Amino acid sequence: MNHLAPLDWVIVIFFMLLFVAIGIYYRGKSEGGLAEFFLGGRKLPWYIAGVSMVATTFAADTPLWVTEKIAQNGISGNWLWWNMVIGGMLTTFFFARLWRRAEIITELELLEIRYSGKVAYWLRAIRAVYLGLFMNVVIIGWVNAALISILEVFFEIPYEQAFWFTLAAMALVALYSSIAGLLGIAITDFVQFIIAMTGSIVLAIVVLNLPEVGGISGMKAQLPAWRLSFFPSINSASDIAVGTFSLSAGAFFSYIVLQWWASWYPGNEPGGGGYISQRMMSAKDERQAVYSSLFFQIAHYCLRPWPWIIVGLAALILYPDLPIEESRKGFILAMRDHLPVGLKGLLFVGFISAYMSTISTQLNWGSSYLTNDLYQRFIKPNDSFSNQAKANNHYVFAGRMITIGIMIAAMYATSQITMIDEAAQFLIASGAGLGMVLILRWYWWRINAWSELSATIAPFIGLAISKYVLPNYLPESFFINNGDFMFTVIFTSIVWLVVTFSTAPTDSKVLHAFYQRIKPGGAWGPFKAEGEKVQALSPLFFSWIFGVIMVYSILFGSGKLIFQEWTASIIWLTSALIAGFLMIRFMRKSKFFKD
């Protein structure tokens, strides 16, 4: 059944053509070399880079996932991702300026600047394939599966039709992203994010004012109090509550104390990395890089969630018989059944926009690894060309062809989505413990390539032990308390520490050159000039702490305002103002940017 009127289709077609037109317009600006193609010539202002980060994380599946968490655990279920504020703000204050200062094209290029020897050489190649191809097509597979689900429900069509429509949409994205390069993608992201957020806000307002929902007061009257709780409950391992998101004390410790720094996960890597570092490296200067990351943290955690949460809560009232395992469809059904003509087309474009912004970034980011860190470094080096102009043209062409190649690989991954999803869960879980090395490589000279290689491999071993060996010896309460995750973190940490002190340090000339180039501060004593003033880390630490408090206070203050709890909203928003003031004050105290 077609749920879009002719006006809706006009809106959809107009914006699809607009996105392609933007790609064509920016084609000439992506020529001239890999820095232009993959970093937009390092010319992005903070608001374009920051919005592009937010748009990329606003995938087509995100509102659906939030709706599912609302059905399972109420608002408190969002702590599964809200806990990542801590790591995100760490990137803002400790790493954003360093990524921009490094003057590199991809994060993997850092490996041969920071480390020495053959192990650094091979580590760069291995991670280029692992992240740029394998992990990348897994992520694209997730996002494609979400769009397929949306199309199945919205248009009431069989899986096969939705599958081919999704592949056509991905091909369109590959076309304009391979033409435009990062600058065109970032500008398209900006437009797509405005459309996606506008559509989400409109949908939230529409469903909230339906007679069946009855506004905020009607929603609060019809839903149990636990669904509206902002915070998870902490229980003993044997007393996990039904309803509100419940954590054992051990699991809470894991979320708040361990997970934000210990695990690698796309979009929130400890120490930055991935497409987040790509956007920071594309900023005009260090200040713009920091401001883009700070904007991302505020918009990602404070601006985006509440329209989705409102729709998720309303869906519980509008579709009370929807099974928990299908609860994510509540968002799509609300959009399909209750939006008027025109607005329905706008929100559908919003979903397509969210999909396209994520896919375009994944294609461009993955291509940057395979082009810069594999093809140029190992297969067709720069010195094989007679002049730099020929090299630049060749590598940009190669980047475009690799983008198409990733798209083809992602088509296969999408067709195997059940298997891929299981693999992805395993890959994310098996990153436990790697994060600390990714953080310390900037601030401690003794970290070497073997540290990072061992920290990459050890979690796979630790996870296997925790899943197949420990259950034979430990009680179930150990795993309810997230003990398997903590075991993997501890196991990995011991392995990389032993490996670090059992292997030779990075060559002193490489370390000296890295320190002089980056000036990160921290434990770099042997490579500092006598009497040299270095970056003080304590102001950054307090900027980080107050930044985290500010973001949480804005998040909860705006939520309390929406739910008309005026006293609580005033308290939280006042806390946000005070924390923001102190954050800025400590930023100014620090020698934050390189002279």
Lowest mean pLDDT: which of 107-116, 207-216, 421-430? 421-430
Average pLDDT over residues 319-346: 87
Tell whether the model's pLDDT for residue 153 goes beyond 50.
yes
CA nearest to 97, candidates 281, 246, 350 = 281
**Which residue stretches of 209-267 are H helix?**
215-222, 249-253, 260-262
Q: Which residues pair with 44 in a beta bridge?
A: 283
Confidence of residue 239 (pLDDT cuts 50, 70, 90): very low
Please give the residue that has the higher pLDDT: either 288 or 385. Answer: 288
pLDDT at residue 135, as a whole number: 83
Tell whether the model's pLDDT for residue 422 goes beyond 60.
no
Amino acid at 547: G
Q: For the stretch 458-474, what's the b/e string if a residue is b when 16 or more beta carbons lie within 10 angstroms of its beta carbon? A: bbbebbeebeeeeeeee
Lowest mean pLDDT: which of 129-143, 209-223, 560-574, 581-595? 581-595
Give tens-digit pLDDT for 54-84. 988 887 778 888 898 898 888 988 887 888 8
pLDDT at residue 425, as a whole number: 60
> How would you classify the pairing of strands 246-248 and 233-235?
parallel
Q: pTM to 2 decimals?
A: 0.89
Computed on alpha carbons and rounded to an integer, the radius of gyration of the chain in Å comes to 24
Contact (CB, 8 A) for 148 and 160: no
Domain range summary for the chain, segments of one domain joined by +: 537-595
Q: What percent of the chain has pLDDT over 70?
A: 89
Amino acid at 550: M
Give tens-digit pLDDT for 436-483. 999 999 999 999 999 999 998 999 899 889 888 888 888 876 666 667
pLDDT at residue 172, as a whole number: 87
Contact (CB, 8 A) for 534 and 588: no
Give tens-digit pLDDT for 25-39. 877 666 667 888 888
Average pLDDT over residues 372-401: 86
Q: Which residues contact 128 (CB under 8 A, 6 or more apart)?
A: 108, 369, 370, 373, 374
- Dig out the tokens for 89 from the structure: 């703000």
Please give the residue that has the higher pLDDT: either 593 or 174. Answer: 174
pLDDT at residue 564, as a whole number: 94
pLDDT at residue 28, as a whole number: 63
Lowest mean pLDDT: which of 67-71, 262-266, 494-498, 568-572? 262-266
Give tens-digit pLDDT for 486-519. 888 889 999 999 999 999 999 999 999 999 999 8
Contact (CB, 8 A) for 42 and 286: no
Amino acid at 466: S
Tell whether the model's pLDDT for residue 236 goes beyond 80.
no
pLDDT at residue 237, as a whole number: 44
pLDDT at residue 341, as a whole number: 86
Contact (CB, 8 A) for 204 and 219: no
pLDDT at residue 250, as a whole number: 57
Contact (CB, 8 A) for 427 and 265: no
pLDDT at residue 508, as a whole number: 93
pLDDT at residue 266, as a whole number: 65
pLDDT at residue 12, as a whole number: 87
Please give the residue that has the higher pLDDT: either 413 or 119. Answer: 119
pLDDT at residue 240, as a whole number: 40
246: phi then psi, degrees, rounded to nearest 5:
-115, 135
pLDDT at residue 531, as a whole number: 65
**Angstrom distance (rounded) from CA 209 to CA 192:** 26
Average pLDDT, the chain: 86
- Dig out the tokens for 426 from the structure: 């395993």
- Terminal CA-CA length for the chain: 62
State the DSSP H helix or E strand holding residue 590, giving kind and residue range, or none if neither: none
The total number of residues written for the chain in this structure:
595
**Which residue stretches of 209-328 are H helix?**
215-222, 249-253, 260-262, 274-281, 286-298, 305-318
Query: Residue 444, SS3?
Result: strand
pLDDT at residue 246, as a whole number: 57
Tell whether the model's pLDDT for residue 290 goes beyond 50.
yes
Tell whether the model's pLDDT for residue 204 goes beyond 60.
yes
Q: For the stretch 262-277, what's the b/e string if a residue is b when 16 or more beta carbons lie within 10 angstroms of its beta carbon? A: bbbbbbbbbbbbbbbb
Alpha-carbon separation of residue 544 from 93, 121, 352, 412, 440 (angstroms): 6, 34, 35, 42, 17
State the DSSP H helix or E strand holding residue 106, giving kind and residue range, or none if neither: none
Q: For the stretch 80-116, what's the b/e string if a residue is b when 16 or more beta carbons lie within 10 angstroms of its beta carbon? A: bbbbbbbbbbbbbbbbbbbbbbbebbbbbbbbbbbbb
Average pLDDT over residues 180-188: 85
pLDDT at residue 593, as a whole number: 52
pLDDT at residue 461, as a whole number: 92
**Angstrom distance (rounded) from CA 411 to CA 164:** 10
Contact (CB, 8 A) for 297 and 583: no
Lowest mean pLDDT: which of 142-146, 311-315, 452-456? 142-146
Q: For the stretch 549-582, what's the b/e string if a residue is b when 16 or more beta carbons lie within 10 angstroms of its beta carbon? A: bbbbbbbbbbbbbbbebeebbeebbebbeebbeb
- Dig out the tokens for 358 from the structure: 């994520």
